[in-house]
Structures are given as C-alpha cells and as structure tokens.
Amino acid sequence: MSDYKLKTPKQVVDTVTGAYKAIEEAVVGTYQKIEDTVVGAYEKVEEGAVEGYKRVERKFTDAFLERIDATEEADNRQDPHGEGSSED
C-alpha cells in the first residue's frame, strides 16, 4: 500500500485555483463567442435600418423639398411673407 501525506494548504489552493481558472477561461471564451455573434448580428440589423431610413429620407426630400441657395434663404429671412405683403 502507498503512503500518503496531506498536501500543504498552498498546494491545495494552487490546484483549486488552477482548476477554477481553466473552467473560467472556457466559460468566458464561450460567452465571448456568443456575444461577438450577437453584437455582429445587431450591428448588421442596425446598419440595414439606418440605410433604409436614409433611402426613405432621400426619396422624401427629392419628392417634396427643393434646395434653396444662400441668397434666396437670406431674402426669406428678411421678408418671410414676400415683397409688399402686410402682416395686418
């Protein structure tokens, strides 16, 4: 029969700590992969939604609005009701 002796507390702590770190790294690695996948999918959905909104905004702008130049904009600020109109 083999002879045994008690491990020192440091040896026990080192063994338990090593096992815990291995488990922790495995779990964290797995969750990191899941998180990366989810974040990547979310970013693609977000990008698609933003691009869709921009397309709609451009179509709306092209259909219903017209660009004014700086001179015309300044004139509108000085006389917003047009020439010769009264506010009475």
**DSSP codes of every residue in 24-45:** HHHHHHHHHHHHHHHHHHHHHH
Phi, psi for residue 82 in degrees, rounded to 5: 90, 165
Across residues 63-82, what is the average pLDDT?
A: 76
Nearest to 80 by CA among 88, 72, 45: 72
> For the chain, how many structural domains are there in total?
1
* Residue-level length of the chain: 88
Q: What pLDDT shows up at residue 68?
A: 84
**Cβ atoms of 67 and 61 closer than 8 Å:** no
Q: Give the whole-angstrom CA distance, residue 48 versus residue 67.
A: 27
Classify residue 56: in a domain, yes or no.
yes
Is residue 54 in some structural domain? yes
Whole-prediction pTM: 0.48
pLDDT tens string 11-63: 888 999 999 999 999 999 999 999 999 999 999 999 999 999 999 999 999 99
Residue 52 belongs to a domain: yes
- 82 part of a folded domain: no
